[in-house]
Every structure is written in C-alpha cells, then in structure tokens.
Amino acid sequence: MEKIRFQICEKELTLYPAQGENRPLIVFNTVMGDGEELAQALRAMDAPDCNLLVVGKLQWYHDMTPWSCPPLSKRGPAATGGADAYLETLASEIVPAARKKIRGSAPYVGIAGYSLAGLFALYAMYRCDCFAWVASMSGSLWFPKFREYVLRHELMRQPEMLYMSLGDAEAKMKHAVLKTVQENTEAIVRHYQEVGVDVRWELNPGNHFRDVAMRSAKGIKAILEA
C-alpha cells in the first residue's frame, strides 16, 4: 500500500494517495498508528477512491479538545483545550501541504475522526470553513458543555453531508459524565436535522472500543458516497 510520510509542526503525517487524479482529500486524526488498518478497511469495503491523510503524534487531550476539562478519573489526563490552535495549523499548513502531494487537485476536503477526534470534527464546523464533508464516529459528545455549545452557535460552514455514529453500549457506563454520550449525541443529531444539515445517524453494536477501524471506514465511505 502506497504511503507518503512527512512532518509538519511535529505532527506525523501519512498520506495514502488515491489511485486516480482529482479525488477528494479526507483528513483523519488518530490517537495512535499511521492509519494503515483504516486504509485497508476502506479498500475492503470498496469505498470510493480518495486521498486519505492520517495525522498522528497529536497531543490528544490538547489538540482535540475545544476547552479545558478536569480529568474524568484520578489517573486520567485533563483536557487542555488546544483545538483552536491545532485547527489553525491543520487548515493553514497541513492541508495545503497534503494538496501538493496528491495526484491532480482535490475537489473537496473532508474531515473524520473517532472518539475525541470525532468531537474535534464537529467543533471544526464552527471554527473554519474548509471541510465540506464531516464524519464523527463514536464522538466524545459527553464532553462538558459541548451539547450546549452546539445548540447556541451557528456553523461557519454547513457540511454537504454529515455522518455520525455511536456504539449501542457506550451509554451503559456508571460514570456520570460518560453515560451522557448517547443522550447528547441524539440531541445534537436532532439539532442538525432541524437546521437543515444532511445528517446520517447510526448505532453500531458494541462499546467504544469495538471495531474502531471498521466503524471509521463506514463513516468515511458514507461521506464519500454522498
């Protein structure tokens, strides 16, 4: 599988170039690895040809979070709210550099993410206008005050298509914050439907950690086929 590796601002970038020219560019932020399992899953699903840019070596609880949040457990990390700064780097440096490495030119750029990166993908719609298609898989929409943020703010750019998914066991948690994830996600989906966003919503079997690559590939395939 062809890979193009490069670095920008200490982020490790892996581009899986499309086989054809002038294909979409999809940005996928990842907590670990270079996204090869995801690229293979997309191929196995016969997803439309695309340029897949996987961004790694992220400061996960900083780059992916819109504002600060205390640790959810005694040993857990605190969120430090660096999403705006990372989004500026992504839009102004990383995406333009990736565009120069693909075959032809990308007709549009999409963004996709799982867990906190799914939260970040939604937040990006309010802070920049560079992503035409968005996929949020098992997004961490339990994140404090994010539901309220969505309901009170206008999108900077309404996506052509938005895909959202969750595992059907993710809300079956004892943790008071984490167990709000499905309630919050469904409320956010309803809000997007009410404001005219073309949103596809689906529940998958399992908890947060089941079939991550497959679920991520399903979401990316859905926006590519829109």
Total residues found in the chain within this entry: 226
- The predicted pLDDT at position 219 comes to 98
For residues 117 and 38, what is the distance between their CA atoms, to the nearest angstrom?
15
pTM as predicted: 0.97
- The predicted pLDDT at position 74 comes to 86
| Residue 164 confidence (pLDDT) above 90 | yes
For residues 69 and 216, what is the distance between their CA atoms, to the nearest angstrom?
25
Query: In three state form, how does the secondary structure of 53-116 look?
Result: EEEECCCHHHHCCCCEECCCCCCCCCEECCHHHHHHHHHHHHHHHHHCCCCCCCCCEEEEEECH
- The predicted pLDDT at position 111 comes to 98
Phi and psi, residue 110, nearest 5°: -115, 165
DSSP-derived secondary structure letter, 47: P
Mean pLDDT, to the nearest integer, of 48-52?
A: 98
DSSP-derived secondary structure letter, 49: P
* Pair of tokens at residue 225: 């086929």
Mean pLDDT rounded to a whole number for the chain: 96
Q: What is the pLDDT of residues 99-145, one digit of tens each?
A: 999 999 999 999 999 999 999 999 999 999 999 999 999 999 999 99
For residues 141 and 220, what is the distance between their CA atoms, to the nearest angstrom?
19
